[in-house]
DNA sequence: GTCTATAGTAGGATAGAC
DNA sequence: GTCTATCCTACTATAGAC
C-alpha cells in the first residue's frame, strides 16, 4: 500500500487537508491523526514533511498572507495612481479576499485560535508596512502627506487598526466600533500629516450601510 | 499521607509555586508535575483547584495587572499634578513594577503562550485606557492637549505601543526599537495635539543609556 | 530520498475510590 | 478534598520496504 508522490504535491495535500480541518474543527480540536486519516498517510510521513502541527498552521497562514501582499504590490506598481488612490485600493484589497478564504478568517476570529490569529496579524503588519511606507513616501513627494517617519507611522497605524479593530481580540459593540473607525480616520490624518477629512472615506468602507 | 488544608491556603500555595516555576523555567517548560512536586500534592488536587495550567497563569497575570491599575489610579487622583506629570508617572509606574514581578514580565515577553500574553495586553489596554483618557481630558482643559477623541486616541496609542513595542510579539533589533520609540513619542504628540517635543522624554524612559 | 508501521515517551487532563 | 489510575494527543524513535 505504498504510494510515492511528488513531494511538493504531498506537502500541498497535507496543507489542504489541514486547512479544511482547522477551519471546520478549529486548530486545537483538529488532531494530527485527523490530518493523517484525511490524506491517508502515516504519522512518520507527516513528521517527515513538517516538524510540528504548529508548523502546518504557519504554512497555511503564510499562503493566505502572501496573497494579500501580492495584491498590494500590484497596486503600488501602478504608475497611474496617486498616493491616496493607492492606499484606498490596498485597503480595499485586504478587506475583500477570495470567498474561499473567508472561512479561514472567521476561524482566526474564534477564541480557540489565538496563536494562529496573532501570527497572521503580525505577519500582515510586517509584509504590508514596507509597501505602504513606499506609498506614504510617494504622498510626501506629491505634497499630500507630511511626516518625518513614514515607515514607523505606517507600522503604528497598521498595528493599531489590525489589533484594536479586530473583533476576535477586542469585542466591541457595533456603535463603539463605528466610533473607533471614525477616530482612526482622524488619527491617520494627523499621523501622516494629511489634509483633514481626506481619510473620512475609510468609515464608509468599514460601514457601507452608514451615512 | 492525606493532608487536608484550608482551601484558600492551598490555592495560594499552588499559585505561588506556579509563579516561581513559570518565571524560572518558563510557562511551557514548567509542567504540571513540577507544580505538584513543589507543593507535594497529587494531580487530582491540582485540577480540583484549577481547571487547567492556563487558568493558573491567568490568575497570576491578573494579580499583576490589578497592581498596575491601582497604581495608575493613585496617580490620577492626585490633585496637585498636571496632565503631563500624570502621564509621565503612569508610564513610569507601569515600567517599574515591584522587583519580584520583573521575572513575570520577562516571561510574558518570551513565553510561547500567545493566548495568555494577548490576554494580559488586552486587559492592560481595557483597564488603563479609561484612566489615561481622564488625564487627556484634564490636559485638554489645561490647554496642553487638543483632540476631539480623547478615549479613542488613547486606545490607539496604548494598543500600538503595547503590541508593536512588545518584544514577545515583534522581535526588533535594538536600533529599530529605538527608532520606533522615538517615532512613537512624535506620533503621540500629533495624535493628542500636544506641543512638539513634549513627549520626547519617553525615549529616555525606554532607553536610559542613550543620549 | 520517500514512505509505512509500530512502539513508546511526556505532559495535560479526567474519573472515581476513599 | 485528596488520591491513584488512566486517558488522550503531540511528538519521537526505529526498523525496514521501495
pLDDT of A13 over the 90 cut = no
| Minimum-distance nucleotide, CA of A56 to C1' | D10
Number of helices followed by number of strands (H, E) in chain A: 10, 0
Where residue A192 falls among pLDDT bands split at 50, 70, 90? very high
Q: Which residues of B38-65 are buried (b: 16+ CB within 10 A; e: fewer)?
A: bbebeeeebeebbeebeebbbbbbeebb
B2 CB contact with strand D at below 7 Å: yes
pLDDT tens track for B45-76: 999 999 999 999 999 989 888 888 999 999 99
Section A166-192 average pLDDT? 94
pLDDT of A211 over the 60 cut = no
User: What pLDDT score does A55 carry?
Assistant: 84
User: What pLDDT score does A9 carry?
Assistant: 86
pLDDT tens track for B187-210: 999 999 999 999 999 998 888 776
In chain A, what's the furthest Cα-to-Cα distance? Answer: 68
All three cell numbers of A143, joined, read: 505634497
Residues of chain B contacting A186 with CB distance shorter than 8 Å:
148-149
Distance from CA of B118 to the nearest CA of A (A): 8
A211 CB contact with strand C at below 7 Å: no
Where residue B117 falls among pLDDT bands split at 50, 70, 90? confident
CA atoms within 13 A on the CB side of B127: 19
Instruction: List the single residue in B with minimal CA-CA distance to A113.
Output: B115
Distance from CA of A194 to the nearest CA of B (A): 12
Q: CA of B43 and C1' of D7: distance in angstroms?
A: 14
pLDDT of B211 over the 60 cut = no
- Spell out which residues of A between 3 and 22 contact strand C, using CB within 7 Å: 3-5, 7, 10
Instruction: List the single residue in A with minimal CA-CA distance to B176.
Output: A152
Task: Share the mean pLDDT of chain A.
Answer: 88
Which is more confident, A48 or B96? A48
Report whether B165 contacts B184 (CB < 8 A): yes
B165 touches chain A (CB under 8 A): no
A144 touches chain B (CB under 8 A): no
A190 touches chain B (CB under 8 A): yes
Residue whose C-alpha is closest to residue A25's, from A107, A114, A109: A107
A109 touches chain B (CB under 8 A): no
Domains within chain A, CATH numbers bracketed: 7-49 (1.10.10), 54-206 (1.10.357.10)
Q: CA of A28 and C1' of D8: distance in angstroms?
A: 13
B189 touches chain A (CB under 8 A): no
User: What pLDDT score does B115 carry?
Assistant: 72
Q: Determine how many CB atoms are found less than 10 A away from the CB of residue A27.
A: 23
User: What pLDDT score does A59 carry?
Assistant: 85
pLDDT tens track for A74-90: 999 999 999 999 999 99
pLDDT of A206 over the 60 cut = yes
| Ordered DSSP codes for A7-43 | HHHHHHHHHHHHHHHHHHH-TTTS-HHHHHHHHT--H
Report whether B194 contacts B144 (CB < 8 A): yes
pLDDT tens track for A127-139: 999 999 999 999 9
pLDDT tens track for B133-160: 999 999 999 999 999 999 999 999 999 9
pLDDT tens track for A90-117: 988 887 666 667 777 776 776 567 777 8
Which is more confident, A101 or B168? B168
Report whether B172 contacts B162 (CB < 8 A): no
Amino acid at each position: 500500500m505504498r504510494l510515492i508522490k511528488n513531494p511538493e504535491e504531498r506537502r500541498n495535500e497535507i496543507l489542504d487537508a489541514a486547512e479544511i480541518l482547522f477551519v471546520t474543527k478549529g486548530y486545537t480540536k483538529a488532531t494530527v491523526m485527523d490530518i493523517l486519516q484525511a490524506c491517508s498517510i502515516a504519522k512518520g510521513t507527516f513528521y517527515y514533511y513538517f516538524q510540528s502541527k504548529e508548523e502546518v498552521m504557519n504554512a497555511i497562514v503564510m499562503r493566505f498572507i502572501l496573497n494579500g501582499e501580492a495584491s498590494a504590490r500590484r497596486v503600488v506598481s501602478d504608475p497611474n495612481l496617486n498616493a491616496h488612490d493607492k492606499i484606498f485600493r490596498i485597503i480595499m484589497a485586504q478587506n475583500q479576499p477570495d470567498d474561499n478564504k473567508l472561512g479561514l478568517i472567521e476561524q482566526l476570529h474564534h477564541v480557540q485560535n489565538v496563536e494562529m490569529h496573532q501570527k497572521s496579524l503580525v505577519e500582515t503588519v510586517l509584509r504590508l508596512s514596507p509597501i505602504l511606507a513606499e506609498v506614504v513616501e510617494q504622498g510626501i513627494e506629491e505634497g499630500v502627506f507630511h511626516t518625518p517617519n513614514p515607515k514607523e507611522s505606517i507600522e503604528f497605524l497598521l498595528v493599531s487598526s489590525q489589533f484594536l479593530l479586530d473583533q476576535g481580540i477586542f469585542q466591541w459593540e457595533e456603535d463603539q466600533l463605528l466610533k473607533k473607525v471614525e477616530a482612526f480616520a482622524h488619527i491617520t490624518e494627523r499621523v501622516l500629516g494629511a489634509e483633514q477629512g481626506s481619510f473620512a472615506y475609510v468609515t464608509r468602507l468599514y460601514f457601507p450601510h452608514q451615512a
